[in-house]
Chain A
Amino acid sequence: MIMFKKIIILSLLTSYLLIANGIRTINFAPLPMVKSQKLLEQYLPMLEYLEKEVSVKFNILYVQNYNELLNKLGTYQIDLSFLGPLPYAEASSRYPHIQPLVRFLDAQGKDHYTCTLFKLQDSPLDMQTLSNKNFALTQKYSTCGFLATQKILNDHNHSLTQNLYNFSGSHTNAILEVVLGNSDLGCAKSSIVHQYQHFGLKTLAISDPFPSFLLVYHTHNIPQKIINQIKEALMKLQPLSNSQDANTTQKWGKNLKYGVVEAKDSDYNTIRRLLQTIELPK
């Protein structure tokens, strides 16, 4: 909380100085996947790079959850944001002025990711006995939260409505709930689950691939020229093939450091189709 206050004060101070110098300030809000203290660690290096490449200044806004992020996108408080595929599909259906900019690659250069349904190794559960069980999920608008879990269960003729579930707040927390034995099963991004495998986690099912996380922008708030400059600055980096670029992105967050590809709105149609058959909880 103290760190959060520091960010706000810093942001306000920066904004004031930038306005005084006539440089455009862009309000950036990342997806609340990690705790506030890690925000600066993950995003500041990338934003500093962009400030150098494009003559803008970034103001980082911390939002507590996905819902708040979506609301602020709708009320013009956020200019640029880092979103997962489900929040993007939801945001673009609500607000037509939200447009995709670039998609981020993972360490293997893939522009998509999966979610993993897991349990403890010593648990006797299998995909045939999934009713009246306790599920630890991430957040409502997290792709690996309700949406991916329900899709996996539906594919096996089950449903989350036959079970109990709670939103633990993040992928790490969902794993922690299972490790502590508070939940029978959990679902989180496969790459994160893999990192915690040594706690005795066992994969039960893996979802179909979802398009990777992306940067989105507010078409009314940022001039197209600046948007093009940001896109060019990010796309010219090839950290997986160019060591100099890899050096540039070395300190960037794991979700950001492996380069980008251009994002199209149609990339996220798979999510939209899923939303037609799966209703998110109120």
Chain B
Amino acid sequence: MKQTIARLASQTSLMTKIAIPIIVIGISIGFLISQSIATLLEEHTTQSLKVESRNLNNKLFYLIEADFKALFLSYGKDAKRYEQAKKLSQQELLASLKNLFRSSIYDIAIITPQGTHWIKQSYTHDSILQSVNQHHKKATHLFDKHIINHSYFRPWKWNIVIIRDRAPIFELIAQNNTIIFQNISILVLLLIGVLIAIIYLTINRPFQKIFAHLATIAHDKEVRLNLTSSKEVVTLVESINAMSSEILTSHNQLIAQQAKIKRIMDIQPDILLLTNGESLQSVNASFFKFFDTFHNLEQFLAKHSCICDFFEKVNEEGYIYDFNHENWIEVVYHQPKISKVKIQKDGVFYTFKVQVEKFDQNNYVVNLNDITQLQEYQKELESKRDNLITQLYTDSLTHLPNRIRLIEDIKTTSNPLVILININSFKEINDFYGVDIGDYVLIEFADMINQQLPSKRAKLYKMSGDEYIILDSFLSNRVELIRRLNRLSSYLNTQTIIKESYTIDITTTLGVAFESSDLLISADIALREAKNSKLRFAIYDKSFETLKQYQNNLLWSKKIKNALDNNHIVPYFQAIVDNQNDTIVKYESLVRLIEPDGEVITPFSFLHIAKRSHIYHNISKCMIEQSFEYFNRKNMSFSINLSIHDIENYETHQLILNKLQEYQLGERVTFEILESEGINNYDVVASFINEIKKYNALVAIDDFGTGYSNFSHIINLQIDYLKIDGSLINNILHDESVSVVVETIIAFAKKLGIKTIAEYVDSKELYEYVKKMGIDYSQGFYISQPISKILESDTFLQT
């Protein structure tokens, strides 16, 4: 019973708390609504009256304007007639307006210069018209409770005024306002009654149950609540049930998460501490792995109030040094440079990297990372690095600083002077005594040079092979330099190295350079100059031809590479005629370089440069490919020039065989082997000839009769043609001895069954002469210049 009374009391209290303010608010709302309705009615009425009065005014204005327009168009040009007509028309107009608007609910006045004419007047006094601003074209305004609409018709200076008194309407609204208020208040109170009943049934009672249920959730119990009083309550109950499930789930997850975090902390290799600086709050498993004499934190704290008890005072940069129990953590936290501590355990020192992060207002998280091993690795690494640097800058044989060191030292030396020392004929020493003795010589000789350096500043470096460099500073005295170089050279050239039973005399050549942008190249040029001029030493001078050659070589190397890249290495074709019948029997493929401006460059300008590098083989390959490809489309014989280098080069050699196989042009191709360059290994040539003969290819010896011609070897080489060197043919008409040589070659060839070809035949006279001598074929400008394309119609007819 008591519970029932208490429950009713609590419900009554709630209802009272809600109902009283709602009743007050309801009555207030009723009052405000009734007032608002009254105001709205007044405003709406005023607005409607304004629009109506404006429309009425426009109507009047239009009628007056129409009347005026008719007068204007009819009589406007004649002022006198117009004035007469106007007077009559205006009187007529005012009369008709009065008649027209006699039943209007608006009062209408027209103020003319002659006076005011009331078109309709019911309750408006003349005094109201005084509020009209007669200069405004069109306007509406409120005066007292009157709406006044006014317009001005300019041609006649007429003011049209429409007036409506709102007072009767306002009185009617005020009378009805009290009734409106009473009705609305009753309606609001009825609504409140209904509202309270609904609140009690749908909200108050279910909420009591919800509150009781919420109390059970606080005890982590999951009990489901069932209420169906209203849709909203059902939704709320469902939400609470879901929420209570989620709270319990979250609670369990939190516990699991905490366990997980502890596990994560424990598997960390670093020691993690939670401390306020003086005492430890919490530690991870790594802590006890290190401090293995303790099994839990209580044991540790029983003996040590602070972990800093273990910190050694190391007076080195980065280590914590000046500290005590109270301040150590602040020191580390505020001075990031202090990041290491040394801890002694069992007589061994361990180094830890220490990191401190603020955890909350009083506590810090301390991370102690054992870097003892890392430091040892670092030391080892530094030691290895030093060794590598030493190796990088040191010659492994003589232990002298090497070329890399020299290049760096030159940069830091003022007025650098380099003396390049080359041991003459060192290759022979190596070949004769062996590499070991050679190495010994290089080491010993380095010691000898070191004993006679030209100045105290001078330093010796070992370059590649048999070369050394002394780096010194030039003291602006060339005479003194030459004196010192003489002394150095004399000293070096009188050295004898004794090894085992051998006595080896050393001679050297020096190349010297200073005041040059590239001292090493300049010294090298000077050295070549000294060797070419058979001097003991030479000081670099810009006038040395070697430099020009260098530059020229560089220029042509670049041009050749570009030409190869852009397909500007092309074959030109020069005809070879049969001296018996003056007909072209074949064409020789001659290499040409086409400059970007179209200029055709002969091989004399670039081939010798190309031969010094592997570019030459690319030119050969290019010529072989293009010649085969071109003559495959022509029914002509042709010849291709080859040097001994081409034959010895595996790739070129293979390419020739491949092309012979691919095109099957063996019977039409002749390979002209340049004899002038000297063939040392005739076996290689013989082997090559044997291979190409399998494809029925022919072989010619080019430039025969100069330099190294070796008749005995030629005999063994299955030669088909001998091409007599142009220098012999050129002089054949003027030099009898040359003529004899050529006759000998012809005779020699005939005996061996080898055909002969005369090149450089550049005149009719010479052509006739070589024919007379019995040379089989001719080639030269008299017959045809080299051409880029062969036409089928090309012929040579002797004239």
Contact = CB atoms under 8 A, between A and B. Distances in A.
Interface of A: 120, 172, 175-176, 179-181, 195-196, 198-199
Contacts of A172: 73, 76
A199 B155 contact: yes
B695 interface: no
A181 B137 contact: yes
Nearest to A196: B76
Nearest to B154: A181
Contact of A176 (B69, B77, B79, B82): B69
A199 B65 CA distance: 15
A144 to B, nearest CB: 17
Contacts of A181: 137, 154-155
B31 interface: no
B72 interface: yes
A196 B74 CA distance: 12
Nearest to A179: B155
Contacts of B79: 198
Given A181-B154, A195-B77, A199-B155, A176 B72 contact: yes
A195 B78 CA distance: 7
12 contacts: A172-B76, A176-B69, A176-B72, A176-B73, A180-B155, A181-B137, A181-B155, A195-B76, A196-B76, A198-B79, A199-B76, A199-B155
A172 B69 CA distance: 11
Nearest to B77: A195
A22 B456 CA distance: 137
Contacts of A196: 76-77
Q: How large is the interface on B (under 10, 10 to 19, 20 to 34, 35 or more residues)?
A: 10 to 19
Given A180-B65, A181-B137, A199-B76, 17 more contacts: A120-B154, A172-B73, A172-B76, A175-B76, A176-B69, A176-B72, A179-B154, A179-B155, A180-B68, A181-B155, A195-B76, A195-B77, A196-B76, A196-B77, A198-B79, A198-B82, A199-B72
Contacts of A175: 76
A180 B154 contact: yes
A120 B73 CA distance: 18
A58 to B, nearest CB: 27
A180 B77 CA distance: 16
Nearest to A181: B154
A24 to B, nearest CB: 37
Which of B69, B137, B155 has the most CB atoms of chain A within a 10 A radius of its CB? B155
A181 B77 CA distance: 18
B667 to A, nearest CB: 87
Contacts of A176: 69, 72-73
A199 B73 CA distance: 12
Nearest to A195: B77
B72 A179 contact: yes
A126 to B, nearest CB: 20
A91 B315 CA distance: 110
Chain A, interface SS category: helix
Contacts of B154: 120, 179-181
Contacts of A199: 72, 76, 155
Interface in B45-71: 65, 68-69
Contacts of B65: 180
A180 B65 CA distance: 8
A199 B157 CA distance: 12
Nearest to B69: A176
B311 to A, nearest CB: 89
A273 B79 CA distance: 38
Interface string B64-99: 010011001100110100100000000000000000
Interface string B303-332: 000000000000000000000000000000
B60 to A, nearest CB: 15
A197 to B, nearest CB: 8
A240 to B, nearest CB: 21
Contacts of B72: 176, 179, 199
Contacts of A179: 72, 154-155
A179 B371 CA distance: 105
Contacts of B68: 180
Contacts of B76: 172, 175, 195-196, 199
Nearest to B65: A180
Contacts of B69: 176
A199 B69 CA distance: 12
A175 B68 CA distance: 13
B607 to A, nearest CB: 77
Nearest to B155: A179
A198 B82 CA distance: 10
B166 to A, nearest CB: 31
Interface string B525-556: 00000000000000000000000000000000
A-B interface, 6 closest residue pairs, ranked by CB to CB distance from nearest: A198-B79, A195-B77, A181-B154, A179-B155, A196-B76, A176-B72
A227 to B, nearest CB: 35
B82 to A, nearest CB: 7
Nearest to B68: A180
Contacts of A195: 76-77
Nearest to A176: B72
B30 to A, nearest CB: 53
A199 B76 CA distance: 8
B88 to A, nearest CB: 18
A196 B154 CA distance: 16
Contacts of A180: 65, 68, 154-155
Contacts of A120: 154
A172 B72 CA distance: 9
A176 B68 CA distance: 10
A172 B70 CA distance: 12
B151 to A, nearest CB: 11
A224 to B, nearest CB: 40
Nearest to A173: B73
B136 to A, nearest CB: 12
B764 to A, nearest CB: 82
Interface string B7-32: 00000000000000000000000000
A17 to B, nearest CB: 35
B156 to A, nearest CB: 11
A94 to B, nearest CB: 33
A179 B79 CA distance: 14
A196 B65 CA distance: 17
Nearest to A200: B155
B381 to A, nearest CB: 85
A120 B77 CA distance: 16
A98 B45 CA distance: 66
A175 B77 CA distance: 11
A172 B74 CA distance: 11
B63 to A, nearest CB: 14
A180 to B, nearest CB: 6
A181 B154 CA distance: 7
Interface in B126-165: 137, 154-155
A175 B69 CA distance: 11
Contacts of B137: 181
B138 to A, nearest CB: 11
A180 B73 CA distance: 13
A195 B76 CA distance: 8
B113 to A, nearest CB: 14
B143 to A, nearest CB: 25
Contacts of B155: 179-181, 199
B539 to A, nearest CB: 87
A175 B155 CA distance: 12
Interface in B282-312: none
A186 B154 CA distance: 16
Contacts of B73: 172, 176
Interface string B510-523: 00000000000000
Which of B69, B72, B73 has the most CB atoms of chain A within a 10 A radius of its CB? B72
B252 to A, nearest CB: 80
A181 B76 CA distance: 16
Which of B76, B79, B82 has the most CB atoms of chain A within a 10 A radius of its CB? B76
